[in-house]
Amino acid sequence: MYDYDFFVMGAGSGGVRAARIAAGHGARVAVAENSALGGTCVNVGCVPKKLLVYAAHFAHDFEDAAGFGWTVGESRFDWAKLIANKNAEILRLNGIYKSLLDGAGVRIIDGTAKLTDAHSVTVGENSYSAEHILVAVGGWPVVPDIPGSDLAISSNEVFFLPSMPRRIIIVGGGYIAVEFAGIFHGLGAEVTQLYRGGMFLRGFDDDVRAHLAGEMTKQGVDLRFNANIASLSGRDGALRATLEGGEVLEADCVMYATGRAPRTVDIGLEEAGVETNDKGAIVVDQYSKTSVNNIYAVGDVTDRINLTPVAIREGHAVADTLFNNSPSKADHRDVPSAVFSQPPIGSVGLTEAEARERYGDVDIYMSSFRAMKHTLTGRDEKTFMKLIVDRKSDRVVGCHMIGAEAGEIIQGIAIAVKCGATKAQFDATVGIHPTTAEEFVTLRERTPEPAPLGHDCVPVS
């Protein structure tokens, strides 16, 4: 009846995984992609960003070497060389994705896929039918519509700048903005980060947000809250950013990292009857099924947890559900994450505010200290760790860290949190000495409960 058993719109991480697994189960599969294979993560996201983070951190490493007896000679940074090497690595990964799809027997179709009904898509002038369709087209950066916004760049273009800006304004308060503030500062640029709210990284634990703001400010990032750009203009080769309060800032580049929107415009969702929410995201159930019985959606286009490993889990689950007689759904509980800021954040489970709302009585364990490495470097950088424990069950329901290798450390801690480990079990675990990570199994003193608000108690913002 159909050209394919499974047609995948988008060859990002979630779409590629779904296509490969479905083909492995014996399905006839095609995937359409209008850009490079691998989606946002491989091309303009996680992978190239992490490479730039590595590059930026060498500035700290050169400075820190002196405390350990090293004399480091003159150092120079070559942006063009970094970008060229990054591009070569991304091309290698694009090739690997193609080999994986070819090896699985998946047909790759170049172009933008658009739904025409529940079982049909068009790619260019060609039409294809499929029993099941997966929408995995991801998201796209959003730039506010202000005068001169066309002079700014987004997180897509930043990876292809021909030269590194010496002065850059980064607008936004999410993890992308924070990460690029650290990247450009580490590479030697003058960085101003603007966020319209009172504290960035909304959704993260409040103590984590405040700690990172302090560390970034100490390093020299001009971090401004309750600040936003009203208009942009160009003058003498420089950009002029007029803030809403009237102040004018000059920079060589203005980058917006103010969120990403699902790419659901003009892909035929209305024609096929697929429901979206007020943010344009595709509405799905626990099995990633849309309002149309045979159409599924995974990844950023659904705006659930917009992380590559989550999209991969969702895509795999869809393939198993449809073609392996094994109804599966991705587990979105206790998903660990990292922000590759400088210093980086690692997090799993609930924030303190979320835990208090869910469990009521919780115990908080926190520690802030100078890591052993910096006892010789003299760097004024503090590592921060926090455990959140449900008092009734003694289960650790949240774990947060800021410091070197936070993502690597939290990945291991996430297993324990996922398995329902208790604080007593953390305490019974022998630490590895001397490491930063051992602090998580040696936290003993509970943080005092916050005082109840009353006539003599003024809340601190």
The share of the chain scoring above pLDDT 70, in percent, equals 98
Give the count of domains, the chain.
Answer: 3
43 and 121 assigned to the same domain = yes
- Mean per-residue pLDDT of the chain: 96
- Active site annotation includes 433: yes
Amino acid 383: pLDDT: 98
Structural domain of 376 = 337-441
Q: What are the distances in angstroms from CA 202 to CA 33, 37, 166, 198, 432?
A: 32, 31, 28, 10, 33
359 and 288 assigned to the same domain = no
In a domain, 447, yes or no: no
Amino acid 454: pLDDT: 45
Nearest to 348 by CA among 198, 208, 182: 208
Contact partners, residue 376, CB within 8 Å, separation at least 6: 67, 68
d(CA 96, CA 37): 9
Instruction: Please state the separation of Cα 19 from the chain's center in Å.
Output: 23
In a domain, 280, yes or no: yes
435 and 378 assigned to the same domain = yes
Q: Hey, what are 56's tokens?
A: 């930026």
15 and 117 assigned to the same domain = yes
Q: Tell me the pLDDT tens digit for each residue of 61-85.
A: 999 999 999 999 999 999 999 999 9
In a domain, 328, yes or no: no
Q: Tell me the pLDDT tens digit for each residue of 288-313.
A: 999 999 999 999 999 999 999 999 99
Average pLDDT over residues 84-110: 98
Active-site residue identified among 25, 211, 433, 455 = 433
pTM as predicted: 0.95
pLDDT bracket for residue 452 (50, 70, 90): low
In a domain, 450, yes or no: no
d(CA 280, CA 113): 18
Give yes or no for residue 46 having a pLDDT over 70.
Answer: yes
Residue carrying the six token digits 């691998």:
38
162 and 177 assigned to the same domain = yes
pLDDT bracket for residue 237 (50, 70, 90): confident
361 and 401 assigned to the same domain = yes
Beta bridge partners of 384: 368, 402
10 and 136 assigned to the same domain = yes
Q: What are the distances in angstroms from CA 8 to CA 134, 294, 318, 386?
A: 5, 12, 11, 41
